C-alpha cells in the first residue's frame, strides 16, 4: 500500500525526497485516500518517514569537498595529495636513474621487473595529477560538465590498467623470489630472452584484463568525495585481485620456511664439520643477500595488498563506526595511502641498499660539478 502511495507521489511531481513534493501532492493524496479507503495510520507513518528521507538527502549533498563549507578540507586534501605525488614521482625517478647508471651490480630480473612497476606507478601519478588535483579545485557545475567528456573513459581505463599492471608485476616479482629460493632449476625463465617474452606476455594479459574490466564495469570519478565509483555487471575483477594476493602470500610462506630450513641446515654443517666453515660462511652471506631481497619484495607486496584491502573494506567499517561525517577524511586518507603504496618499491630499495644510495650520491655530485 505504501508503494502505491509512493508511486502516486512520483507520478505527480517526479521525486519523493524533496519538500516541494511534500506540499504539492496533498490534494492527490486526499483523492487517493478517498478512492482506496486508506487508513489514517498509514498516512501518518508516510509523513513521518518523508522528512527523514529529505534530511538524509540533504546530508549527503552537504558532504561535498568542493562546497564552500569544506574549503579548509579541500585545500588540505590538495596539499597532502600533492606532497605524496611529488615524493612518489621523485623517488621512482631516482630509482630508475640507479638502474640506468650502473645496473650490473643488481640482479637483472629484479631490475627489469622493477622498471615495469615504475612504469605502472607513473601511470597512476599521471592519472592523479590530471584528474584528482584539478577536480578538487574545480567548481561543482564545471566539474559535472567536464566528466561527461570522453576523457573520463580514458582515465577510467588508465586507472584499471595501473592497478592491474602493478598487481601483476608485483606477483611476477614474488614469483621471481619464489623460483630463486624454492625452484632454482627454473631460474632460466628469468634470464635473457625468456624474461623479455615473459614481460611482454604480462603486459598483454594486463591489457586484455583491463579491456574486459572496462567492458563489464562503468567507472566514474566522484569529485565530491574523491573516490572512483564502479558499477560492474560481472565480478571478474574482484575474484582476480583477490586470488593474486592470496597466491603471493602462500609463496612467501613457502619462501620463509625454506630460508629457515636452510639456516638450520647450515648451522648443523658448521657444528659437525669445521673444515667447511669458509664454504658455509659464503653460503650464509649469499643467504643473507637473498633474505634482504626477500624482505624488499615482501614489503612491496604487502604495501600493494594493504591498499587493496583498505580500498575495499575500510570505507564500510569506518562509515558504520563514525557515520557520514568521516567520509571526506577517509577519502583523503585512501588517496594518500594509494599513492604512498607506489613509493614502497623505491623507499625500501634505498633503505636496504647502500650501493644504490652511493650511486645516487655520486650521480648528483657529478651533476653539481658539471
CB atoms within 10 A of CB 320: 8
Q: Answer with the residue of higher pLDDT: 84 or 134.
A: 84
Q: Is the pLDDT of residue 133 over 80?
A: yes
Q: 17 and 72: one domain?
A: no
CB atoms within 10 A of CB 109: 21
User: By the 8 A CB rule, do 120 and 162 touch?
Assistant: yes
Q: 151 and 255: one domain?
A: yes
Range of the domain at 234: 63-369
Q: 89 and 17: one domain?
A: no
Q: 128 and 155: one domain?
A: yes
Closest of 235, 293, 332 to residue 109, by C-alpha: 293
Of 86-90, 140-144, 185-189, the poorest mean pLDDT is in 140-144
pTM exceeds 0.85 for this model: no
For residue 311, the domain's CATH number is 1.20.1070.10
Q: 159 and 25: one domain?
A: no
Choose the most confident range, by mean pLDDT, from 46-50, 57-61, 120-124, 225-229.
120-124
What are the grid coordinates assigned to 249, written together? 602470500
How far apart CA 288 and CA 276 sit, in angstroms, is 18
Q: Label residue 82 by pLDDT band (50, 70, 90).
A: very high
pLDDT of residue 268: 62
Mean pLDDT of the chain: 73
* Domain stop point among 61, 95, 110: 61
Q: 19 and 120: one domain?
A: no
Q: 166 and 198: one domain?
A: yes
Q: 146 and 275: one domain?
A: yes
For the chain, what percent of residues have pLDDT higher than 70?
A: 67
Number of domains the chain is built from: 2
Q: 189 and 213: one domain?
A: yes
Q: 310 and 329: one domain?
A: yes
pLDDT of residue 91: 92
Q: Is the pLDDT of residue 39 over 50?
A: yes
pLDDT of residue 5: 42
Q: Answer with the residue of higher pLDDT: 238 or 158.
A: 158
Q: 68 and 56: one domain?
A: no
Rounded (10°) CA dihedral 177, 181, 182, 183: 80
pLDDT of residue 63: 65
Q: 270 and 253: one domain?
A: yes
Amino acid at each position: 500500500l505504501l508503494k502505491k502511495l509512493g508511486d502516486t507521489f512520483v507520478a505527480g511531481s517526479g521525486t519523493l525526497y524533496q519538500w516541494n513534493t511534500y506540499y504539492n501532492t496533498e490534494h492527490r493524496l486526499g483523492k487517493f485516500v478517498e478512492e482506496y479507503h486508506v487508513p489514517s495510520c498509514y498516512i501518518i507513518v508516510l509523513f513521518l518517514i518523508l522528512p527523514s528521507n529529505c534530511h538524509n538527502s540533504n546530508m549527503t549533498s552537504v558532504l561535498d569537498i568542493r562546497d564552500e563549507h569544506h574549503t579548509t578540507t579541500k585545500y588540505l586534501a590538495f596539499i597532502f595529495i600533492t606532497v605524496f605525488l611529488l615524493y612518489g614521482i621523485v623517488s621512482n625517478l631516482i630509482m630508475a636513474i640507479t638502474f640506468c647508471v650502473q645496473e650490473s651490480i643488481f640482479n637483472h630480473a629484479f631490475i627489469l621487473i622493477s622498471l615495469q612497476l615504475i612504469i605502472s606507478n607513473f601511470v597512476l601519478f599521471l592519472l592523479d595529477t590530471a584528474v584528482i588535483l584539478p577536480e578538487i579545485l574545480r567548481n561543482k557545475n564545471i566539474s559535472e560538465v567536464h566528466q561527461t567528456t570522453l576523457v573520463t573513459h580514458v582515465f577510467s581505463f588508465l586507472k584499471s590498467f595501473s592497478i592491474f599492471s602493478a598487481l601483476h608485476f608485483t606477483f611476477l616479482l614474488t614469483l621471481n623470489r619464489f623460483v630463486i629460493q624454492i625452484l632454482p632449476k627454473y631460474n632460466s625463465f628469468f634470464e635473457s630472452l625468456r624474461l623479455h617474452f615473459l614481460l611482454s606476455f604480462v603486459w598483454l594479459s594486463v591489457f586484455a584484463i583491463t579491456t574486459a574490466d572496462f567492458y563489464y564495469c562503468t567507472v566514474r570519478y566522484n569529485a565530491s568525495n574523491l573516490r572512483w565509483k564502479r558499477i560492474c555487471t560481472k565480478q571478474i575483477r574482484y575474484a582476480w585481485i583477490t586470488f593474486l594476493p592470496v597466491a603471493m602470500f602462500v609463496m612467501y610462506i613457502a619462501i620463509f620456511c625454506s630460508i629457515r630450513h636452510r639456516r638450520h641446515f647450515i648451522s648443523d654443517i658448521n657444528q659437525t664439520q669445521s673444515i667447511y666453515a669458509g664454504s658455509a660462511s659464503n653460503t650464509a652471506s649469499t643467504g643473507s643477500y637473498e633474505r634482504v631481497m626477500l624482505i624488499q619484495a615482501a614489503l612491496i607486496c604487502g604495501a600493494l595488498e594493504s591498499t587493496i584491502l583498505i580500498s575495499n573494506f575500510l570505507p564500510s567499517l569506518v562509515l558504520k563506526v563514525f557515520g557520514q561525517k568521516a567520509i571526506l577524511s577517509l577519502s583523503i586518507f585512501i588517496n594518500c595511502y594509494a599513492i604512498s603504496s607506489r613509493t614502497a618499491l623505491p623507499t625500501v630499495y634505498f633503505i636496504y641498499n647502500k650501493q644504490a644510495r652511493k650511486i645516487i650520491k655520486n650521480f648528483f655530485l657529478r651533476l653539481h660539478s658539471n
